[in-house]
Amino acid sequence: MLASTMALANCVSSAHAQEADQKIIGKFNDKIESGLMTPEILQSFGRLSDVQISPDLKKILYGVSYTDVKENKGNRELFVMDINGKNNRQITSTAFSEYSAVWYNNGKQIMYLSRQSGSGQIWIMEADGSNPRKVSDYKDGINGFLLSPDQKKVLFFTDIKYGETIQDVYPDLDKAEASIHTDLMYKHWDEWVTTVPHPYIADISETSMDNIVDIMPGEFFECPMKPFSGTEDFAWSPDGKTLAYTCRKKEGLEYSISTNSDIYLYNIETKNTRNITDGMMGYDTHPEFSPKGDYIAWTSMERDGYESDKNRLFIMDLKSGERIFLSENYDNNVDKFIWGKDAKTIYFISVNKATAQLFSIDVKTKKYKELTQGDHDYSSLALAGNELITTRRSMSAPDEIFSYNLKSGKTEQLTFENKHILDQLTLGKVEKRWIKTTNGEDMLTWVMLPANFDPNKKYPALLYCQGGPQSPVSQFWSYRWNIQMMAANGYVVVLPNRHGLPGFGQKWNEQISGDYPGQNMEDYIAAINEVKQEPWVDQDRLGAIGASYGGFSVYWLAGNHNKLFKTFIAHAGIFNLEAQYLETEELWFANWDMGGNFWDKSNKVAQRTYENSPHRFLENWDTPILVIHGEKDYRILASQGMMAFNAAKIKGIPTEMLIYPNENHWVTKPQNSVLWQRVFFRWLDKWLK
């Protein structure tokens, strides 16, 4: 069995062991005797990210995060390899994570962030990892940075104070612990809003960062936008004279009901700012200048208040100001993208029919082409000559670096960070099938078979209910909802791409809006009803599981399943839609998805939504249920889970509640993650085995 006590900051895979620094005292080389995934093994995978191509296009810089379950911590190290994947070597081995690393000084050095001095600061080291030294000493710490093309300036962002504290108003109450609020957005995802990220520009060299300029003076808007954005919200023009940034310049109630962000251009010399997406009412994000700087591209959603609207690709001729809807002939989302070196082509990632693939689009003709196929998801993009350097994952393997040759179409795997673990595991097989929905459409459904599958045996089956609600059920790899973990525990897993998911056109994606209890719930039942007909599925041992909207789905199914399921697990789910409307901090989500507030009796869409809230079907609850929630979840408050647990207990239904006082909408701490898996499968085994 895999030991879960690998040394913090010193864990390297066997693939890197021979080249590792002598200071490294631990590495994963344990034999996995069972051949099956366990929670501890899942935590041992190296988590690869942030691929950077050197200026000469000959090397790749990337980071890998490792987890130490015993110490309940993680650590991130940096690696460098040749562009063909050879000569892979680890260049850091410290007790402090190195992150946001980029090539510096024509590839002779590397600039990165580290909290070695307490707060995040910019550091520089030689390209081989030697001679690390701190460059910045910014008093409030640095959360992220982006170098200018000539590498003489740096855009960085840090947290600044937002609003007044009790001590600002009443200085004599220095021990008072409270806050006073006069508007909305006083909380967000997992924090009380006392600070916001704010951007600055500074001169930078190998030894210092100075001449700091506030590019949004007197403005207290999130930039980058929380909770998921970072340096991708910014872009330097090739001549370094202009900085593009993304911002939703709204506060309070206006912020809470709107998704209308814009792209702004800040002139370094004049310090003037102009909005280039004024009048475009939805999310405008991820600006990127063309190689010569004559165009800028960005992704844009059309409608204000709709966070899952189709993500479209726009470009603007910066000389004429003409906006061009580049992806108007493509009916799915444009996700991450990059310009081709001649600016005639843009390459992008998009989910199409439940997998995230590489695409190209011709800037002149708007014709797009799907470059890759297969049961896997591409997750990042970088350009190195005629190669796209990408990361790729699947339900059977976490992210690794791949190259895609633009001329030959050949794909090659460059890193094997987790091969030494995967080679020892017996994994479940993933099958793809199309199932008819009750309205006559075809629904792609993944079916994960148990590890060591025997078609002559009967297995319990789990219906996986996706969150979002408009998030793809693609070839994802999760460190919590890991489908291979479920296969290792002897379960068939049914994963329907129900209505209300991207990748099957805009009409399919939008069907769920204002129809939470409708077609997508029928899709769930259609999927499990078809798969349960297989001779290797035990129809008397079915369960339904899910988180967020998937948790809502579980609660709704608990009152409407007609004894189909033997148990349920709901994580961070919505139980009472009326309470959710007034508890969530992002009102645009509730307004769009639920149809509006519950007191407007003339709003038929909203009334139908609230009439079908899961808590209204409690009279039908009769099935064991496990409830999981985090008390720092401010998107869906823990009170939702507590209500569901209390109701089940009052009704005499077997139930448990796993509550985390310091976790948010997710579970991030290593030991909490292991606990989650243990409780999850203990519950399933109790009722389905």
> Is 474 considered catalytic here?
no
CB atoms within 10 A of CB 437: 18
Q: Which helix (H) or strand (E) holds 393?
A: strand 387-394
**606-611-615 Cα angle (round to 5):** 125
CA contacts within 13 A on the Cβ side of 544: 31
Residue 182 Rama label (left phi>0; alpha psi -120 to 50; beta): alpha
Contact 497, 473 (CB under 8 A): yes
> Is 561 considered catalytic here?
no
Considering the candidates 229, 548, 553, 673, report the single residue annotated as catalytic. 548
For residue 232, give the nearest of 213, 245, 216 by alpha carbon: 245
**130-98-100 Cα angle (round to 5):** 110
Considering the candidates 44, 523, 633, 673, report the single residue annotated as catalytic. 633
Three-state secondary-structure class, residue 430: strand
Cα 134 to Cα 121: distance, rounded to the nearest angstrom: 7
Going by C-beta distance under 8 Å and a sequence separation of 6 or more, which residues neighbour residue 331? 310, 505, 506
Radius of gyration over every alpha carbon of the chain, rounded to an integer in angstroms: 25
Cα 663 to Cα 274: distance, rounded to the nearest angstrom: 40
Q: Which helix (H) or strand (E) holds 673?
A: helix 670-688
Question: 347 pairs with which residues across the strands?
Answer: 338, 360
Considering the candidates 190, 396, 665, 673, report the single residue annotated as catalytic. 665
Q: How far is CA 24 from CA 20, 87, 421, 506, in A?
A: 7, 19, 19, 50
**Six-digit token string for 310:** 């189709």
For residue 558, give the nearest of 550, 188, 583 by alpha carbon: 550
> Is 665 considered catalytic here?
yes
Cα 548 to Cα 640: distance, rounded to the nearest angstrom: 11
For residue 450, give the nearest of 466, 434, 472, 431 by alpha carbon: 431
Instruction: Provide the H-helix boundaries in 94-169.
Output: 166-169
Instruction: Name all contacts of 27-31 with Cβ < 8 Å and 24+ positions apart.
Output: 28/2, 28/420, 28/421, 29/420, 30/1, 30/2, 30/3, 31/424
Which strands form 98-104's sheet, in the order they lie side by side?
98-104, 109-114, 121-126, 133-134
One-letter identity of residue 31 = K
Q: Which helix (H) or strand (E) holds 325?
A: strand 323-325
**683-557-641 Cα angle (round to 5):** 60
Active site residues per annotation: 548, 633, 665
